[in-house]
Amino acid sequence: LSLAFITSPLDRAAEIRNSSNRLNELAAVGASCCVAVLGDQVQTEAGQVFIQRGAIAAGSVFLGLDENKTAWFARPAVETSELTGLRDLMLAGDADAGLLSILAQARSMVGWHATHGFCAKCGAATDMADAGYRRHCAGCGADHFPRTDPVVIMAVVEGDAMLLGRQAAWKPGMYSALAGFMEPGETIEQAVAREVREEAGVVVHDACYVACQPWPFPSSLMIGMVAKAASRDLKIDHSEIEDARWFSKTEIRQMLERTHPDNLYAAHPYAIAHRIISAALEEIESAG
């Protein structure tokens, strides 16, 4: 298992999006592919991702061209079809990493249309344009574009200890990096400091970028950071998180490897939390 959703084989070929002729041609090609999603669920057939070939329905979202120049599209699934959660497909570990990345794009795009059929500016119904990358309001003329919501997620280090937290809804024993949505008018580094202070009462400095991951539930961009804390004093906001705790480097290693004596464990390797906790642990170990 490794970081999910970051290995799309598709060239998004944005130059095609405006050409209905070209899109109609591609939709008719027998080899063209279409996946179907409904909320966080993907249409499957006997548990495998269902890929419709050729004769793609008009109004499908154009995702891009793969290495063989095969076109990929996405459309809403019908409720009566066989559906499997995208998270379950990811966890099962047998879906192709490239296909999972395509499904991430599909889920975010189809979900955006499903929840943005009306103009936020005037309330009128809007129409899909640019092969799915725009919605236009004929009423007031406004154009609307898909959302990507940046989220900061951070491992916090003080000396040889690391701060992780958990939400009440998580399975018992799981701890992960603190995280939160960015707000208008702040930098990534400011958002890291704000979230850690809000949730755990800890003041951080020197936040460094590690890696990022699209997280299609529904349409986040997880920005993975490692930050340093000035002290280990905690003041947990229990309305936001159930717990936050400083762990020793030995415990963190055990939690990543799932050998902790109390059955505590860290986020799965498919999630960026695992990557940044690993990066922060390496930093601690190389420093000490």
16 or 255: whose CB is closer to a second copy?
A: 16
Tokens, residue 196: 């850690």
Q: How far is the CB of 208 from a second copy (least distance, A)?
A: 9
CA 201 to each of CA 81, 197, 226: distance values in angstroms, whole numbers, following the listed order: 47, 4, 17
Q: Quote the distance between the C-alpha of residue 101 and its chain's center.
A: 10
> Measured from the CB atom, is 109 or 264 closer to a second copy?
109
The whole-angstrom separation of Cα 58 and Cα 107 is 18
Q: Are 166 and 198 in contact (CB under 8 A)?
A: no
Comparison of 50 and 118: residue with beta carbon closer to a second copy: 118
Least distance in angstroms from the C-beta of 274 to a second copy:
16
Q: Taking the chain, what is the end-to-end CA distance rounded to the nearest angstrom?
A: 29
Q: Does an H or E element contain 107, and which?
A: helix 97-115
Give the shortest CB-40-to-a second copy separation in angstroms.
14
User: Smallest distance, Å, CB 9 to a second copy?
Assistant: 11
CB 50 to a second copy: min, Å: 19
Nearest approach, Cβ of 71 to a second copy (angstroms)?
16
Q: List all residues 6 or more positions away from 18 whose beta carbon is below 8 Å from its beta carbon.
A: 130, 131
Residues present in the chain in total: 288
Instruction: Using the minimum distance from each CB to a second copy, give the nearer residue, 3 or 264.
Output: 3
Distances (CA, A) of 257 to 235, 264, 265, 277: 28, 10, 8, 12
Question: Which residues make up the interface to a second copy (CB under 8 A)?
Answer: 5-6, 8, 12, 14-15, 101, 104-109, 112, 115-125, 133, 142, 144-150, 181-190, 194, 198, 209, 211-214, 216, 219, 221, 223, 237
For a second copy, which is the closer residue by CB, 107 or 260? 107
The residue among 74 and 264 lying less far from a second copy, judged by its C-beta, is 74
Residue 14 DSSP class: G
